[in-house]
Structure 1
């Protein structure tokens, strides 16, 4: 025990640095785990407080999970959630890496910072604001796209009642909002690559594309694998604002915009069933954990050095 406290005192400066992050995780990540018990209870609010409500609520086992699996929309929301996330992971990875490589190759570094700031700005905008930006283009009456269609003599489109267009709109807007933030991570990794590699390649006569292909991308590969594995863990979760605010909660678009998160939200708003929403969140977390472990296991089998653990 004395040796333990000596280590604490010796490393007190480093421990103080990680203390804020540790406290944040304890309060917002670990303490809420006790609330997962609500997924197995018929939660009823008691005037005696939250803990009394939890203790007095009846135990119902897996009944709350039946709401997700027995509903007629189970297949649609599961399909939409998985397919959108798979597309986001693939397209987001390609676009973020591509944008980071382009920024790193710009000779005018001042303009590179301007472009980076411009692409990073959407990350800080809420989905409510972005939904109104999109509405200025997609509005049936005053939208820019329909005004252009009228100018060229073509028929206008009722965008918020035509489901066939929205998979492309959602993917485009989702990637556009996140490309700046994701590219910063890869740009930082590119900045840390030893410049002597590029100098040696230039002396050997390698062109820019060859340098990117044989130096930049291989050295980015470990980071790309790690971020992809972590992204796979969220494949059963969706950005609520993207699928709820952007389509303006249009009922006509539910076949292509309804995902697990929006489905649970609507169920919670209509029925007020807290146990059901907790069960959905627990289900998403467990599936995400299994997917992360599976993806990491596969990567470890292929190349042990590239795995997270």
Structure 2
């Protein structure tokens, strides 16, 4: 025990640095886990407070989970959630790595920083703002795209009622918003690569493409795998703002924009069933955990050093 306290005192400076993050993590990540019990109860507000409400609410078992699996939209929301996330993960990975490599190869570093800042900016914009940006392009009467189409003699498109365009719009905007943030992560990793590798490659006569293919990408692979594993863990979760705010909650677009998160939100708003929404969140978390474990196990079998644990 004395050894423990000695180590604690010796590292008190570092421990104080991580204390705020630890407290935040405990309060906002671990304490809310106790609320998962609501997924198995018919939650009703009690006058004696929240804890009394939880204790006095009727136990329902797995009935709250039936809402997700027995509804007529179960197939549609599951399909949309998985396919959109797969597209965003795969395309986001390829485009982010590509932009990071391009930025690292720019000779003019001042311009590279300007491009990097411009790409990073959308990450800080809320989906409400982005949805109004999109509306200026897609509005039926005053939208920029319809004005261009009309100028060339075409018929204006009712963007917010035509389903066939929205898979491409959602994927494009989702990648546009996230590619800058992900590129910065990969760019930081590229910056940390030992320059002697490239110098040796130049001496051996390697072209720039071969340097990227045989040095940059292989050294980025561990980071790419780790981030992909973590992204797969969230494949049953969707960016709520992307699928709710961007299409303006248009009912005509539900078959191509409705995902688990938006479906649960509308169910909560219409029925006020907290137990059902908690069950959906718990289901998404458990599936995400299982997917991370499976993906990490596969990676560990193929290349042990690239696994998370």
Comparing 14-23 with 218-227, which one deviates more in the overlay?
Answer: 14-23
Name the count of aligned residue pairs: 309
* Counterpart for residue 241 of structure 2: 241
TM-score of the pair, normalised by structure 2? 0.99
Residues 24-103 of structure 1: pairs in structure 2 closer than 5 A: 24-103=24-103
Partner-residue secondary structure (3-state), 2:157: coil
Comparing 231-240 with 202-211, which one deviates more in the overlay?
Answer: 202-211
* Counterpart for residue 22 of structure 1: 22
**What CA deviation, in whole Å up to 9, does each residue of 1:114-160 have, x standing for no partner?**
00000000000000000000000000000011000100001111000
Displacement of 1:29:
0.4
* Counterpart for residue 111 of structure 2: 111
* Counterpart for residue 180 of structure 1: 180
User: How big is the alpha-carbon RMSD for the aligned residues of Structure 1 and Structure 2?
Assistant: 0.5
* Counterpart for residue 193 of structure 1: 193
**What CA deviation, in whole Å up to 9, does each residue of 1:85-115 have, x standing for no partner?**
0010000000100000000000000000000
Supply the distance in 1 between the matched residues of 2:291 and 2:19 (Cα, whole angstroms): 30
Displacement of 1:308:
0.5
Displacement of 1:3:
1.4
Supply the distance in 2 between the matched residues of 1:80 and 1:279 (Cα, whole angstroms): 19
**What CA deviation, in whole Å up to 9, does each residue of 1:47-79 have, x standing for no partner?**
111111101100000000000000000000000
Supply the distance in 2 between the matched residues of 1:285 and 1:293 (Cα, whole angstroms): 12
* Counterpart for residue 144 of structure 2: 144
* Counterpart for residue 219 of structure 1: 219
Partner-residue secondary structure (3-state), 1:15: helix
Supply the distance in 2 between the matched residues of 1:232 and 1:291 (Cα, whole angstroms): 7
Unaligned runs of 5+ in 1: none
Structure 1 runs of 4+ with >3 Å offset: none
Supply the distance in 2 between the matched residues of 1:220 and 1:2 (Cα, whole angstroms): 43
Supply the distance in 2 between the matched residues of 1:17 and 1:302 (Cα, whole angstroms): 37
Supply the distance in 1 between the matched residues of 2:7 and 2:307 (Cα, whole angstroms): 30
Displacement of 1:170:
0.1
**What CA deviation, in whole Å up to 9, does each residue of 1:210-269 have, x standing for no partner?**
100000000000000000000000000000000000000000000000000000000000
